[in-house]
Structure 1
Amino acid sequence: MFERRNIQRTYLKISREVKDFLLSDKSREFFIFLFFFFVAGGFWLLQTLNNDYEADFSIPVRLKGVPNNVVITSEPASELRIKVKDKGTVLLNYMLGKSFYPVILDYADYKGVDNQVRIYPSQFEKKVLNQLNASTRLLSMKPDTLEYIYSTGASKLVPVKLRGTLSAGREYYLSDTIFSPDSVLVYAPQGVLDTIAVAYTQPVKLEDISDTLRQQVPLRIQKGVKFVPSSIEMMLPVDIYTEKTVEVPLRGVNFPADKVLRAFPSKVQVTFQVGLSHFRQINADDFHIYVSYEELLRLGSDKYTVKIKNLPKGVSQVRFNPAQVDFLIEQVSLDYGD
Structure 2
Amino acid sequence: MAIIKLSAIEKRRLSVFITCLVFAACAWLFTALSNTYKFTVKQAISYKNLPQKRAFYPLQSDTVTTIVQGTGWQMLFAKGSYNNKPVNIDLHTLESKNYVVLSQQLKQINAKKDLNHEIIAINPDTLYFDFSNRIIKKVPVALVANISYQKQFAQSGNVAIRPQYVTISGPAETIGNIKVWKTDTVKLADVNEDFTRRVALHEVKEGNLSIIPKSVSVHIPVDEYTEKTLEIPVKVINNHHYYDVKIFPQKIKVTFTTSLTDYPDMNEDDFEAVVDLSLWEQYGYHNLPVKITRMPSFSKVTKIEPRVIDFIIKK
TM-score, length-scaled by structure 1: 0.61
Write the distance in 2 (CA, Å) between the matches of 1:131 and 1:269. 73
The equivalent of 1:283 in structure 2 is: 267
For the pair 1:167 / 2:178, whether they are aligned, the reply is: no
Residue 124 to residue 206, structure 1, CA distance change in 2 (3 Å): same
The equivalent of 2:231 in structure 1 is: 247
8 A contact 1:177–1:235 mirrored in 2: yes
Deviations 1:28-60, CA, capped at 9 Å, x for gaps: xxxxxxxxxxxxxxx9999667734457999x9
The equivalent of 1:186 in structure 2 is: 168
Q: Match for 1:202 among 157, 179, 184?
A: 184
Q: Which amino acid aligns with 1:166?
A: I
Write the distance in 2 (CA, Å) between the matches of 1:131 and 1:265. 81
Residue 45 to residue 272, structure 1, CA distance change in 2 (3 Å): closer
Q: Secondary structure of 1:314's match?
A: coil
8 A contact 2:51–2:92 mirrored in 1: no
Q: Which amino acid aligns with 2:102?
A: F
The equivalent of 1:268 in structure 2 is: 252
Q: Match for 1:319 among 300, 303, 306?
A: 303
Q: Match for 1:107 among 93, 96, 99?
A: 93
Q: Match for 1:292 among 276, 286, 289?
A: 276
1:85-124 matched pairs, under 5 angstroms? 85=69, 106-107=92-93, 111-112=97-98, 118-119=99-100, 123-124=101-102
Deviations 1:210-230, CA, capped at 9 Å, x for gaps: 211123222222413211102
Write the distance in 2 (CA, Å) between the matches of 1:131 and 1:183. 36
Deviation of residue 158 (structure 1)? 0.8
The equivalent of 1:308 in structure 2 is: 292
Write the distance in 1 (CA, Å) between the matches of 2:225 and 2:130. 49
Write the distance in 2 (CA, Å) between the matches of 1:256 and 1:61. 66
Write the distance in 1 (CA, Å) between the matches of 2:140 and 2:313. 50
Deviations 1:155-200, CA, capped at 9 Å, x for gaps: 0111111234333222111132221111111111122122111111
Question: Unaligned 5+ residue runs, structure 1?
Answer: 1-42, 92-101, 113-117, 332-338
Q: How many residues align?
A: 266
Deviation of residue 69 (structure 1)? 4.5
8 A contact 1:185–1:229 mirrored in 2: yes
For the pair 1:125 / 2:103, whether they are aligned, the reply is: yes
Write the distance in 2 (CA, Å) between the matches of 1:147 and 1:317. 60
Write the distance in 1 (CA, Å) between the matches of 2:246 and 2:294. 23
Could you say what the CA RMSD is over the residues aligned between the two structures, in angstroms? 4.5
8 A contact 1:214–1:235 mirrored in 2: yes
Residue 83 to residue 238, structure 1, CA distance change in 2 (3 Å): same
For the pair 1:237 / 2:221, whether they are aligned, the reply is: yes
Q: Which has the larger radius of gyration?
A: 1
Q: Which amino acid aligns with 1:187?
A: S
Residue 104 to residue 271, structure 1, CA distance change in 2 (3 Å): closer
Question: Unaligned 5+ residue runs, structure 2?
Answer: 1-26, 76-87, 111-116
Q: Secondary structure of 1:308's match?
A: strand
The equivalent of 2:17 in structure 1 is: none
Residue 297 to residue 218, structure 1, CA distance change in 2 (3 Å): same
Write the distance in 1 (CA, Å) between the matches of 2:102 and 2:259. 62
The equivalent of 1:154 in structure 2 is: 135
Q: Which amino acid aligns with 2:222?
A: V
8 A contact 1:73–1:188 mirrored in 2: no
Write the distance in 2 (CA, Å) between the matches of 1:263 and 1:163. 45
Deviation of residue 310 (structure 1)? 3.5
Write the distance in 2 (CA, Å) between the matches of 1:138 and 1:160. 41
Write the distance in 2 (CA, Å) between the matches of 1:131 and 1:264. 82
Q: Report which of the two has the higher share of strand.
A: 2
